[in-house]
């Protein structure tokens, strides 16, 4: 079943066309990596899909409820001095559209599960600005996962992180995709770290240059 | 002077009730404004409040009738221009506040017999509060506390990461206008007690001080409210005893507490 359809999409950035004639659809449980050079439009496409960037033309059809979709951006730290604990930030991932956002017992249970999954229990009560880059990105992944999304959209989520942490977090995404059948759409340039064989690669350079299996893409590059 | 005997005076009772209610509201909305880097909005709206008060006197209308709509419109405009044009909040506030101050000064110059009132408007007076102000302040405080509790998690989400909140389907614009509306009402109600030039301190100082003492957002909200009410009471008592302007006395207490907390943090480091 198709959970996302992009039809004839065109978007601009600072007055220049960033993407044009973009057509693809995503099936439930697919793991998709958007790749391309800097400025190829990966981030713009992700931001357009999640509603942070306006499209000029075309259609984006999401066949999934908003509360089942989570987004993780590249650099989430708004302000190092911001007084918020890691726990407070993870809990904001619970926000539900059109529902008053009181946290329920189930939400707190999910929080405990996320702490175990991401191994973050030791620092959830610390101020977010006092954590290392790797710890912080785990917290942000926790915020994205706490609502148990069916679709996870990530924009270069682990760039700038230590190689071991990056590897560990990619393994976690593999697991979520395989075991929970979570659909993953991720802008990245770390394809070497992805060991899954059934990953679909979409290469962008203003338009789609390649759309196929990761093994074929690696063979060509 | 016996401080407790002061409480027998109705004008003191009015100033205390109004002040505590407004300081509480200003502090909890101030947390959001400080963290979203909209600290100067209180100052900008204070200037608009000054212009609206001069207009009210010139037109012989009740001050609140003119101030409330004008300050709310100004707050919405600041938020709208900042959002639509992508201007930073500070630029828009600077434009609106200097424009409003100019209007106020021109109206003052064109209207006779204004000088005493102008001083009171700018620097505040404990005699300015009426019983209807007390009722309005208490109603506003109760309404604000209810709104704050109902939308607390969402307001925090928007304050921390507006973009993420947007991807969750939260109407960021709606909450920004809600924050503007509350700020405008706090400014209008507080400006005659604190003065149009000093009302922003009620919004900014508690948040800045609390931020130095806590690691959590919830902690900052609670501490801000406590600091605000305590500083207000201490400041107003100093102003009674030493016969000093209310607003300035409260700001002096804030500055002293800010210095103490800064020093405390330096020692801890």
Return the domain boundaries, chain A: 1-64+151-221, 83-149
Closest CA to A30 of A208, A202, A198: A198
Answer whether B202's CB lies under 8 Å from B190's CB: yes
CB–CB contact A83 B217 (8 Å): yes
DSSP for B129-188, written as a single string: --HHHHHHHHHHHHHHHHHHHHTHHHHHHHHH-HHHHHHTT--HHHHHHHHHHHHHHHHH
Answer whether B151's CB lies under 8 Å from B182's CB: no
**Integer Cα distance of A173 and A182 in angstroms:** 9
Closest CA to A86 of A154, A169, A143: A143
Chain A residues whose beta carbon lies within 8 Å of the beta carbon of residue B153: 91-92, 94-95, 101-103
**Integer Cα distance of B250 and B123 in angstroms:** 11
Q: How many contacts, defined by CB atoms under 8 Å, are there between A and B?
A: 80
Q: What is the pLDDT of residues B242-263, one digit of tens each?
A: 888 888 899 999 999 999 999 9
CB–CB contact B216 A127 (8 Å): yes
Is 80 exceeded by the pLDDT of residue A79? Answer: no
The shortest C-alpha distance from A141 to chain B (Å) reads 12
CB–CB contact B151 A103 (8 Å): no
Chain B residues whose beta carbon lies within 8 Å of the beta carbon of residue A50: 167
Whether domain A1-64+151-221 has CATH 3.40.50.300: the reply is yes
DSSP for B11-64, written as a single string: HHHHHHHHHHHHHHHHHHHHHHHHHTT-TTHHHHHHHHHHHHHHHHHHHT--HH
DSSP class of A104: P
Report chain B residues touching chain A, CB-CB < 8 A: 35, 150-151, 153-154, 156-157, 160-161, 163-170, 211, 214-220
Element (H, E) at B256: helix B246-268
B187 phi, psi to nearest 5 deg: -65, -45
Q: What is the pLDDT of residues A12-59, one digit of tens each?
A: 988 888 999 999 999 999 999 999 988 889 999 999 999 999 999 999
pLDDT score at B6? 79
- Give CA angle at B24 (B3, B186), nearest 5°: 110
Chain A residues whose beta carbon lies within 8 Å of the beta carbon of residue B150: 100
A66, A72, A77, A83 alpha-carbon torsion, rounded to 10°: 50
Q: What is the pLDDT of residues B88-139, one digit of tens each?
A: 667 888 888 889 889 988 988 887 766 656 777 777 777 777 888 788 888 9
Chain B residues whose beta carbon lies within 8 Å of the beta carbon of residue A97: 168-170
Closest CA to A73 of A93, A91, A88: A93
Interface probe with B: pick from A15, A49, A95, most Cβ of B within 10 Å = A95
Answer whether B166's CB lies under 8 Å from B46's CB: no
Where in chain B are the domains?
Answer: 3-268
- ipTM summary value: 0.88
pLDDT score at B128? 72
DSSP SS3 for A100: coil
The answer, for A65 touching chain B at a CB cutoff of 8 Å, is no
Element (H, E) at A176: helix A163-179
What pTM does this model have? 0.87
- pLDDT tens by residue, chain B, 269 residues: 577 787 888 888 888 898 899 999 999 999 999 998 888 888 889 889 888 888 888 888 888 888 889 999 999 988 888 777 666 667 888 888 889 889 988 988 887 766 656 777 777 777 777 888 788 888 988 998 899 888 898 999 999 998 889 888 888 889 988 998 999 988 888 887 888 878 889 999 999 999 999 999 999 999 999 999 999 999 988 988 888 888 889 999 999 999 999 999 888 87
Whether domain B3-268 has CATH 1.20.1050.10: the reply is no
Q: What mean pLDDT value characterizes chain B?
A: 87
């Amino acid at each position: 079943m198709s959970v996302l359809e992009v039809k004839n999409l065109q978007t601009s950035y600072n007055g220049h066309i960033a993407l044009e004639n973009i057509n693809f659809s995503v099936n439930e449980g697919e793991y998709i990596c958007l790749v391309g050079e800097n400025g190829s439009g990966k981030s713009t496409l992700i931001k357009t899909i999640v509603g942070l960037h306006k499209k000029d033309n075309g259609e984006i059809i999401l066949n999934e409820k908003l509360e089942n979709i989570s987004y993780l951006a590249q650099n989430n730290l708004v302000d190092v001095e911001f007084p918020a604990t890691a726990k407070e930030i993870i809990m904001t991932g619970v926000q539900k559209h059109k529902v008053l956002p009181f946290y329920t017992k189930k939400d707190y249970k999910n929080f405990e599960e996320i702490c175990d999954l991401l191994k973050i229990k030791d620092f959830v009560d610390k101020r977010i600005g006092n954590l290392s880059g790797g710890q912080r990105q785990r917290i942000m992944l926790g915020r994205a996962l706490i609502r148990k999304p069916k679709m996870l959209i990530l924009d270069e989520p682990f760039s700038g992180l230590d190689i071991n942490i990056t590897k560990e977090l990619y393994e976690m995404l593999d697991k979520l995709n395989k075991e929970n059948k979570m659909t993953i759409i991720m802008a990245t340039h770390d394809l070497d770290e992805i060991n899954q064989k059934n990953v679909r690669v979409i290469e962008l350079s203003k338009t789609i240059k390649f759309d196929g299996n990761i093994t074929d893409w690696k063979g060509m590059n | 002077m016996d401080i407790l005997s002061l409480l027998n005076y109705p004008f003191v009772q009015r100033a205390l009730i109004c002040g505590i209610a407004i300081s509480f509201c200003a502090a909890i909305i101030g947390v959001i404004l400080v963290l979203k880097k909209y600290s100067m909005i209180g100052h900008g709206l204070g200037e608009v409040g000054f212009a609206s008060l001069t207009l009210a006197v010139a037109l012989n209308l009740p001050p609140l009738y003119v101030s409330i709509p004008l300050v709310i419109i100004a707050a919405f405009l600041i938020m709208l221009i900042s959002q639509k044009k992508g201007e930073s909040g500070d630029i828009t506030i600077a434009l609106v506040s200097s424009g409003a101050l100019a209007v106020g000064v021109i109206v003052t110059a064109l209207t006779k017999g204004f000088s005493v009132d102008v001083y009171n408007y700018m620097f505040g007076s404990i005699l300015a509060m009426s019983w209807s102000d007390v009722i309005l302040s208490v109603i506003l405080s109760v309404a604000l506390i209810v709104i704050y509790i109902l939308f607390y998690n969402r307001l925090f989400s928007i304050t921390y990461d507006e973009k993420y909140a947007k991807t969750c389907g939260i109407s960021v614009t709606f909450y920004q206008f809600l924050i503007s509306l509350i700020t405008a009402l706090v400014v209008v109600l507080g400006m005659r007690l604190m003065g149009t030039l000093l009302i922003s301190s009620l919004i900014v100082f508690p948040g800045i001080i609390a931020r130095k003492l806590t690691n959590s957002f919830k902690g900052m909200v609670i501490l801000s409210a406590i600091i605000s009410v305590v500083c207000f009471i201490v400041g107003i008592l100093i102003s009674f005893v030493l016969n000093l302007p209310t607003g300035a006395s409260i700001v002096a207490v804030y500055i002293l507490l800010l210095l103490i907390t800064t020093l405390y943090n330096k020692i801890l480091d």
